[in-house]
């Protein structure tokens, strides 16, 4: 029981950290936010073998075309981490049914995504988009799925070991 409380606290702290990271990114003004995603794309282009030898004009065209995709992948990725941590936190509550744990994790993630978009309204040059809430929500759902898959694999492996032990004990007896 003591270990589960430690795990719960760790996941709670991880949720707070990822929410703080999201908050910081949403606090950036439009220009800084755009430069961040442009910088990521530029780094990829400058290191990817098929694009690193292109001229500046071609690289800039790729950066401009890919920036919306990079931004949506960033939304999805950071909210996937949020979903993993939220589900990890709620999974420590054994008194809740699985559907309740999933619902709470998903609900918390979606509510945070909505408040995050509203927060962006107060950052210069930023907007709130329902589409981004959808991308964020899919990220949360994907993170929840990852945790549930890992827990399922662990459960199956644990039960297989127990079954194997009983079979061995049965043959020895």
Question: What are the angstrom distances between the C-alpha of 56 and each of 31, 53, 64, 95?
Answer: 21, 9, 12, 58
- The angle, 0 to 180 degrees and rounded to 10, between the axes of the packed helices 130-172 and 98-120 is 150
Domain that holds residue 133: 2-172
d(CA 152, CA 169): 26
What is the tens place of the pLDDT at every residue in 11-20?
999 999 999 9
Q: What is the pTM of this model?
A: 0.84
What is the tens place of the pLDDT at every residue in 144-168?
999 999 999 999 998 887 655 555 4
Number of compact structural domains in the chain: 1
List Cβ neighbours of 98 (8 Å cut-off, separation of 6 or more): 148
What is the tens place of the pLDDT at every residue in 44-103?
999 989 898 999 999 999 989 988 899 999 999 999 999 999 999 999 999 999 999 999
């Amino acid at each position: 029981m003591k270990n589960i409380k430690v795990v719960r606290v760790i996941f709670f702290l991880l949720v707070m950290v990822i929410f703080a990271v999201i908050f910081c990114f949403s606090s950036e003004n439009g220009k800084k936010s755009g430069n961040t995603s442009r910088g990521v794309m530029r780094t990829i282009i400058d290191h990817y073998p098929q694009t690193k030898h292109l001229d500046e004009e071609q690289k800039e065209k790729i950066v401009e075309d890919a920036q919306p995709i990079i931004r949506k992948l960033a939304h999805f990725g950071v909210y996937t981490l949020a979903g993993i941590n939220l589900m990890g936190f709620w999974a420590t509550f054994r008194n809740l049914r699985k559907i309740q744990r999933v619902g709470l994790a998903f609900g918390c993630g979606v509510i945070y995504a909505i408040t995050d978009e509203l927060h962006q309204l107060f950052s210069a040059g930023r907007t709130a988009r329902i589409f981004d809430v959808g991308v964020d929500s899919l990220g949360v759902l994907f993170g929840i799925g990852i945790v549930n898959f890992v827990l399922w694999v662990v459960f199956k492996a644990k039960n297989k070991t127990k079954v194997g032990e009983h079979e061995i004990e049965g043959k020895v007896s």
